[in-house]
Structure 1
Amino acid sequence: MDLLGVAGDQTITVAGRGLRRAELMDRAAGVAAEIAGAGAVAVHATASLETVVAVVGGLLAGVPVVPLPPDSGPDERAHILGDSGAALLLAARGAYEPGEGDPPLVPVDDLPAGEGAGAGAPDDATALILYTSGTTGAPKGVLVSRAAIAAGLDALAEAWEWTAGDVLVHGLPLFHVHGLVLGVLGALRAGSSLVHTGRPRPEAYAEAAAAGGTLFFGVPTVWSRVCAEPDAARALRGARLLVSGSAPLPVPVFGRLEELTGHRPVERYGMTETLITVSARAGGDRRPGHVGLPLAGVATRLAAEDGAPVPADGETPGELHVRAPMLFGGYLNRPEATAASFTADGWFRTGDIATVGPDGWHRIVGRASTDLIKSGGYRIGAGEVENALLAHPAVREAAVVGTPHPDLGEQVTAYVVADGVDERRLIGFVAERLSAHKRPRTVHLVDSLPRNAMGKVVKTRLGA
C-alpha cells in the first residue's frame, strides 16, 4: 500500500514556503536514510515545511513518528519523549532548544536530499504515535497504523469528493489528527495541493480563497473568527467546501457562515483513537448541530450505562460505540487501558454521548464524563491540568472543568483551594509546564471543593 498516494504535480506550501511533490519526496528520502532502523522518532511539529518533510521521511522509512507539540511545557515534553522511546528528535534548524535527557537532535534542514521511495513498512505497522489529552493523568500514546490512516483518508475523500483537483487550505497545528493526518497526509494521498497558512487567520483564508483554494478546514473557533470579519468570510464564496471539526460547531456560527459565505459547512466527528468515523457529505444534507452519517466501512451503535441497546430515535442518548477499519492499534505499553476501551464484543467505547435518528444522522450531545474540555479545537484533559496545579506548593486541592466561552467554545476553568497565591500566578505556573492552550483562563480560589460520600469531587456542583 502506498500510503502517500501516487506522484502528481501538487505543491505543498506552509507559511509561504512551498515544495513541489517531487522535491518534498527527495528531501523526505534524505530523512528516511538518516533515521532508518530507529524504533521511533519525535518531530518538533511546528507549522513548517520541515515538519512535513520529517513526518513524510518517517513514513518512507517505516519508522513510527511521534509529533511533539511545539508549545509543550517541560513536563509534558519529557513525558512524551520518554514514554514513546523516541531515539531521535527531528526539528527545523534553530527551532528547538534541547533539554536535559532529550534524544539526539537532528536538524532536518541539514540533511542532504535522497532518492527512492524508502523501505516502507507492512500495512499494519505503526505510522504515528499520537498523544491523547490525558483526561485521567498523563497523556497516552495512541498507535495509529498505516492501514488505519489509509482507510480513514479514503473514506473522507469519498465523502467530501476530495480529488487531485482541489487545493486544501488550513492553518491548523501539525501535531494532531485534524491538522497533520487530514490536513497534510490527506492532501498527499488525494494528490491535492496544500496551502497551510501558518496560522488560521481570517485574512489568510481569504487570500488563499482568492488564489484558488477550494477545500477549507477549520475548528469552530476559526469559523467564529472568520464570521467576525465579514469581508474575509465573503471571500470564501468561491470555495467548494468548508469543513468544521475537532469540537461541535455552535449553531449560530453555522448560520452565520451560511449567510456570509453561501456555504453550509460540513461537520464531522472523530477521535485520536478512531480518526474520523462520522461526517456529513459534500453532495448531501448538512444539518446544524449534527455530525452526519457513518463513513464507508464504519458501524456505530448506542449503549446505555448498563450496556443495553439504545434506540435510534433521535432523542434517546447513549454512549457511542464504533467499529471501523480506521481504529487505533492500542495504547503504547498500556494493555489494561487498551482492553478497557473496548467492549467484550469488540466495539470501541468513545466515551461520547450521542443520539442517532431513524435516518442514521448522529448528534454528539456531551461527554460521558466531565473531564474532556474542547477549547478552540483542542481536546484538553482536565486531569492533566489538575495535576499541574497540584504541583504548586501552595495548592491543596484542584478541580478543572470546561465552561462556556463565546470564541473558544469552552475555556479551561479551575477551582483551587490554596494558600498565599493568586489567580495570575497559578495560570502562569501551569503555562510554564503544559502547552499554552491548556492553561486555565480563569482560576476561582475557593475554601473547599464539593465532594460526595466517597470523597470524589462533584464537578457539576462547582460554581454553584
Structure 2
Amino acid sequence: MSALFPPLFPALAAPTDRPALRCGPDSLSYEELARAAGALAARLAGSRRVAVWAVPTARTAVAVVAALLAGVPAVPLNPRSGERELAHVLGDSAPDAVLAGPGDALPAPLDALPRIDVELDGPGAPAPEAVDPESTALVVYTSGTTGPPKGVLLSRRAVAASLDALAEAWAWTADDVLVHGLPLFHVHGLVLGILGPLRRGGEVRHLGAFSAEGVARELGGGGTMLFGVPTMYHRLADALPDDPALAGAMAGARLLVSGSAALPVHDHERIAAATGRTVVERYGMSETLMNTSVRPGGPPRPGTVGTPLPGVEVRLVEEDGSVLDGSDGETVGEVQVRGPNLFSGYLNRPEATAEAFDGGPAGGWFRTGDMAVRESDGTIRLVGRKATDLIKSGGYKIGAGEIENALLDHPGVREAAVTGEPDPDLGERIVAWVVPADPSDPPADGELADHVARLLAPHKRPRTVRLLDALPRNDLGKVLKKRLPRG
C-alpha cells in the first residue's frame, strides 16, 4: 500500500471482531465485513463501473465497500427512481453489472445488466485498494431538478478529505456508534452515514426505515451520534413531549446532526427544551461533500450552518462576480467553495463541469448556487437557492429561507415555503405557501404578513398566502418548489 494515500478503511486492513455494521436483522463485525467485501471485491476486479441497488440493507454497504476495495467506481441507484430516470442513469454511467441482494426485485431497465448477488459471508480477505487519490470512488447522481440528473464524480481524495475534516470538527472516533435511517443512494446517508463510521473504525446502526421508536432504541442502547434531515427532526420534536424514553435517549447522545436542508429554528428550540441537547447543522452537497459545520460544544447557532471545515475555503460572491468581504448578516451572495472535498467533474459533461467553476475545475471556485449571508462571528446562514429562493422585490435581495423560518415561528403554521412571482410594481412579490397547523382554522393572510414584518423587516412580508395540505418533497425531505401549483 502506497504511503502517499493510506487505505480508506484502515480497520479492514487488520480486522477484528469489533461491531462494524447493523441493519435490521443483519450484523457484521469488521472481520465479517472484511470477508464478505473482500470476496466480492475479487469478483469485481477489472470492472470499469458497477451499479449498486441502494436499498437500506447491510448488503448495500457490503457492495459499496467491496467496489472501493477493488478500486472500481460504484454508482448508487435510487430504488425509488422512475424507469425513465433510471434508464438515463444507466445509459450515462454504463456500468458493467448491478450489485443487489439475492431477494431484491429489480425494475425492467436493469434487465440487460449482469446481476451479481451480494452475500454477507465469504472466504475472502480485503483486496488491495487503488492508491491513486484522484481515482473515482463513487458516481452519485444529482436530483435532476434543472435537467437530466448529472453524474458527480467523487474521488477517493474527496471522500477521505471530507470525512477526515468532519472527524476533526466533531471529534469523531472509533468509539462512536452512529444511528441513522437515511437513504443510501445519497452522500448524506452513504458517504457520511456508512463510509464515515467505517473509516473511523466505529459502528453504524442503520434503522432500515426511520422511526422515533428506532431512534430511542438505538440511541438508548449505546448510540452516541444521530444523523438526520429536518423532516426527521421535526417528527422527533413532535414525539418528544409524550415519549420520555426518546427524550432520555436523545439527551444521552454525544452529537445530533441535521443536514440536507435547513432545520427550522422552532424545531431547534423544541428539541433543546426537551433534551437539553442542541442539534448541530452542517452544509454540503453532492459536488462538494461537506463544506461547513457548527462546532459541537460551542454556543448554539440555530439557523446557521457554522464555519468552514478544515481545509475548505468558502466565499460569498455578488452577481457581478465581486467577492463580499463583509459580515453584516444581511448582504446576500452566492456561496462558492474551494478545497480537497470537491468533486472531479460531471461524468460525460465537460461543458457543465467548466460552467460550474469560477476559474476552471483545476483549483477554481465551485459555484454552489446556494445563497447565504455571513454573520458577524463568521458563521454562514443559508437563505435559499439562487434559482428558486432569491427574491428581488422593491429593490431588495431577499432570501426565502429566513422568511420561511419566520413563518414557522407562528403557532398556526406547520410547514411553509416561500417563492417569488412577477409583480408589475415590485418586480417580484413574496408568496408564502403554508400548511396550517389546524386546517379548519388557518391563520389569516394579514396575520402572517404582520408576523413576518415584526420578526424581520416590512419589505420581507409575504404579499400573498396560499394554503396547502402538504408541501411537495423529495426523498431527503427537501421542498420541491418547482412542483408547487401556480396560482
User: What is the TM-score with the length of structure 2 in the denominator?
Assistant: 0.77
| Partner SS for 2:213 | helix
Q: Partner of 1:5 in structure 2?
A: 10
- Equivalent pairs counted in the alignment come to 398
Equivalent residue in structure 2 for 1:161, among 171, 181, 191:
171
d(CA) in 1 for partners of 2:278, 2:9: 30
Q: Partner of 2:52 in structure 1?
A: 43
The reply on whether 1:238 has 2:238 as its aligned counterpart is no
Q: Partner of 1:355 in structure 2?
A: 373
Q: How does 1:273-312 map to 2 (within 5 A)?
A: 273-310=287-324, 311-312=326-327
d(CA) in 2 for partners of 1:439, 1:369: 14
1:334-387 deviation per Cα after TM superposition (whole angstroms, max 9, x unaligned): 00000000002711100000011232100000110018999xxxxxxxxxxxxx
Q: Partner of 2:30 in structure 1?
A: 21
Q: How does 1:103-122 map to 2 (within 5 A)?
A: 103-109=113-119, 112-122=122-132
Distance apart, 1:119 and its partner CA: 4.2
Distance apart, 1:322 and its partner CA: 0.6
d(CA) in 1 for partners of 2:294, 2:20: 28
CA change 1:16–1:406 in 2 (3 A) is farther
Q: Partner of 2:354 in structure 1?
A: 339
d(CA) in 2 for partners of 1:368, 1:159: 28
Q: Partner of 1:92 in structure 2?
A: 101
d(CA) in 1 for partners of 2:135, 2:483: 43
d(CA) in 2 for partners of 1:136, 1:304: 22
Q: Partner of 1:383 in structure 2?
A: none
Moved more, 117-126 or 177-186: 117-126
Equivalent residue in structure 1 for 2:148, among 138, 151, 162:
138
For 2:343, the aligned partner's letter is: F
Equivalent residue in structure 1 for 2:204, among 176, 191, 194:
194
d(CA) in 2 for partners of 1:147, 1:213: 29
Q: How does 1:50-69 map to 2 (within 5 A)?
A: 50-69=59-78
Distance apart, 1:137 and its partner CA: 1.1
d(CA) in 1 for partners of 2:294, 2:144: 29
d(CA) in 2 for partners of 1:218, 1:352: 21
Distance apart, 1:116 and its partner CA: 3.3
Distance apart, 1:27 and its partner CA: 0.4
For 1:365, the aligned partner's letter is: V
The reply on whether 1:227 has 2:242 as its aligned counterpart is no
Distance apart, 1:440 and its partner CA: 8.1
| Partner SS for 2:345 | coil
Task: Determine if contact 2:33/2:120 at 8 Å carries over to the other structure.
Answer: no
Q: Partner of 1:381 in structure 2?
A: none
CA change 1:193–1:23 in 2 (3 A) is same
d(CA) in 2 for partners of 1:436, 1:354: 21
The reply on whether 1:250 has 2:268 as its aligned counterpart is no
Q: Partner of 2:138 in structure 1?
A: 128
Task: Determine if contact 2:39/2:125 at 8 Å carries over to the other structure.
Answer: yes
d(CA) in 1 for partners of 2:230, 2:251: 18
For 2:218, the aligned partner's letter is: A
Distance apart, 1:109 and its partner CA: 2.3
Distance apart, 1:193 and its partner CA: 0.9
Task: Determine if contact 2:260/2:476 at 8 Å carries over to the other structure.
Answer: no
**Percent identity of paired positions between Structure 1 and Structure 2:** 51
Q: Partner of 1:183 in structure 2?
A: 193
Q: Partner of 1:412 in structure 2?
A: none
d(CA) in 1 for partners of 2:45, 2:139: 17
1:414-455 deviation per Cα after TM superposition (whole angstroms, max 9, x unaligned): xxxxxxxxxxxxxxxx99xx989899899888xxxxxxxxxx
| Partner SS for 1:257 | helix
Distance apart, 1:209 and its partner CA: 1.5
d(CA) in 1 for partners of 2:118, 2:272: 42
Q: Partner of 2:426 in structure 1?
A: none
Higher relative contact order (CA 8 A, sep 6+): 1
Moved more, 122-131 or 356-365: 356-365
d(CA) in 2 for partners of 1:202, 1:149: 30
d(CA) in 2 for partners of 1:202, 1:132: 29
Equivalent residue in structure 1 for 2:89, among 62, 71, 80:
80
Task: Determine if contact 2:304/2:381 at 8 Å carries over to the other structure.
Answer: yes
Distance apart, 1:22 and its partner CA: 1.2
Task: Determine if contact 1:266/1:280 at 8 Å carries over to the other structure.
Answer: yes
Task: Determine if contact 2:36/2:120 at 8 Å carries over to the other structure.
Answer: no
Task: Determine if contact 1:29/1:118 at 8 Å carries over to the other structure.
Answer: no
d(CA) in 2 for partners of 1:402, 1:59: 45
Task: Determine if contact 1:302/1:319 at 8 Å carries over to the other structure.
Answer: yes
For 2:262, the aligned partner's letter is: P
Distance apart, 1:136 and its partner CA: 1.9
| Partner SS for 2:119 | helix
Task: Determine if contact 1:218/1:245 at 8 Å carries over to the other structure.
Answer: yes
1:272-297 deviation per Cα after TM superposition (whole angstroms, max 9, x unaligned): 00001100112322311000010000
d(CA) in 1 for partners of 2:252, 2:476: 35
d(CA) in 2 for partners of 1:305, 1:342: 15
For 1:358, the aligned partner's letter is: S
| Partner SS for 2:51 | strand
Q: What are the ranges of 5 or more consecutive residues in structure 1 without an aligned counterpart? A: 375-400, 408-429, 446-461
Distance apart, 1:113 and its partner CA: 3.5
Q: Partner of 1:448 in structure 2?
A: none
Q: Partner of 1:33 in structure 2?
A: 42
Moved more, 73-82 or 266-275: 73-82
| Partner SS for 1:228 | helix
d(CA) in 2 for partners of 1:39, 1:73: 25
Q: Partner of 2:332 in structure 1?
A: 317
| Partner SS for 1:109 | coil
User: What is the TM-score with the length of structure 1 in the denominator?
Assistant: 0.80
d(CA) in 2 for partners of 1:85, 1:371: 35
Task: Determine if contact 1:54/1:90 at 8 Å carries over to the other structure.
Answer: yes
